[in-house]
Amino acid sequence: PTVYVITPTFRRPEQIPELTRLGQTLRQVKNLHWIVAEDAQVLTPVVRTTVEKMGIPYTLLVAPMPDEYISKPGHKPRGVSNRNAALQWLRSNNITEGVIYFADDDNSYDLELFEEIRKVKKVGMWPVGLVTKFGLSSPVVKNGKIVGFYDGWIGNRKFPVDMASFGVNLSYLSKFPNISMPFSPGYEETGFLRALNITKDDIEPLAENCTKILVWHTQTKKSKPAEKAAGAKHNNTNIPFLLD
Ligand code: UGA
Ligand code: MN
């Protein structure tokens, strides 16, 4: 089965390096389609060229975060409108075979992960490293069945998991033509999984019964080159040094 990797992305200094790193991982995986969904008003040319040069099947979409969430202070529903645009694209193209996976642009992925994703029959799960202060988010597996979840923030969630921790088969997903991810910060994963009408018993524990970490929730340190240059204390450090 084809793996449909859905990557929400937005403009900031780290965007192109993140997409380059992720694209160079994905280009090593056979039978993969990369859906890059921008949180932007219009497609960004440099995002297109960055994705295009990977030489793999791809789709570029654009779906900005709605204004009501942008203006609201605090925790925002990041990547939701753009992930939903990807789900809509799969529906409108009648793609009912393959497996979807939500891959944020800044995580780190082991190539073995994509072979686990391919095994998903309905909904599959696996651990994610470096999430919250616990450093790990994982289903708890007993006798080959998921019996609970280990996560630094349970937060009254039915499925206390990270976005990177699950895959859904499109033959199952397509039974839910109205499914979308909710605009509820922190509850996107559990809301989406609840809408799939599954119980713990339906979920396939993958990555050797959830004993292998194949994806990490890494976060890139913010770089602020412009501000740094403007605030430079030493003489002439913010102008180019030219040789004679
Ligand atoms: C946390 C959770 O750990 C993730 O499971 C979840 O995907 C994410 O929040 C979320 O809010 O959706 P975190 O590292 O804090 O992850 O989030 P980011 O990496 O900043 O953003 C998640 C994805 O959304 C990234 O691919 C990012 O490029 C994209 N994004 C972020 C947007 O499209 N628009 C934004 O304004 C911010
Ligand atoms: Mn992230």
Q: Is 190 in the pocket of ligand 1 (CB under 6 A)?
A: no
* Phi, then psi, of 67 in degrees rounded to 5: -50, -40
Which ligand approaches the C-alpha of residue 15 most closely? 1
Residue 204 falls in the annotated catalytic set? no
Residue 73 resides in a domain? yes
Q: Domain of residue 83: give its range.
A: 3-125+163-202
**pTM of this prediction?**
0.94
Residue 241 resides in a domain? no
**What pLDDT band is residue 242 in, cutting at 50, 70 and 90?**
confident
Q: Is 163 in the pocket of ligand 1 (CB under 6 A)?
A: yes
Domain CATH code at residue 41: 3.90.550.10
Structure tokens at 171: 């033959």
| Amino acid residing at 38 | E
Q: Is 204 in the pocket of ligand 1 (CB under 6 A)?
A: no
Residue 83 resides in a domain? yes
Query: What's the average model confidence in pLDDT over 58-71?
Result: 96
pLDDT value of residue 230: 56
* Phi, then psi, of 16 in degrees rounded to 5: -70, -45
Q: pLDDT tens digits for 166-208?
A: 999 999 999 999 999 999 999 999 999 999 999 999 999 999 9
Residue 100 resides in a domain? yes
**Helical packing angle, 45-52 and 15-26, nearest 10°:** 20
241 CA distance to ligand 1 centroid (A)?
Answer: 38
Residue 187 resides in a domain? yes
**How many domains, the chain?**
1
Nearest protein Cα to ligand 1, atom 10: 78
| Amino acid residing at 163 | M
Residue 95 resides in a domain? yes
In Å, how far are 79, 105, 189, 235, 243 from 193, measured between CA atoms?
16, 21, 6, 56, 60
- Which of ligand 1's atoms lies nearest the C-alpha of 83? 33
Of 73, 14, 63, which is closest to residue 181 (Cα–Cα)?
63
Residue 231 resides in a domain? no
Q: pLDDT tens digits for 126-176?
A: 999 999 999 999 999 999 999 999 999 999 999 999 999 999 999 999 999
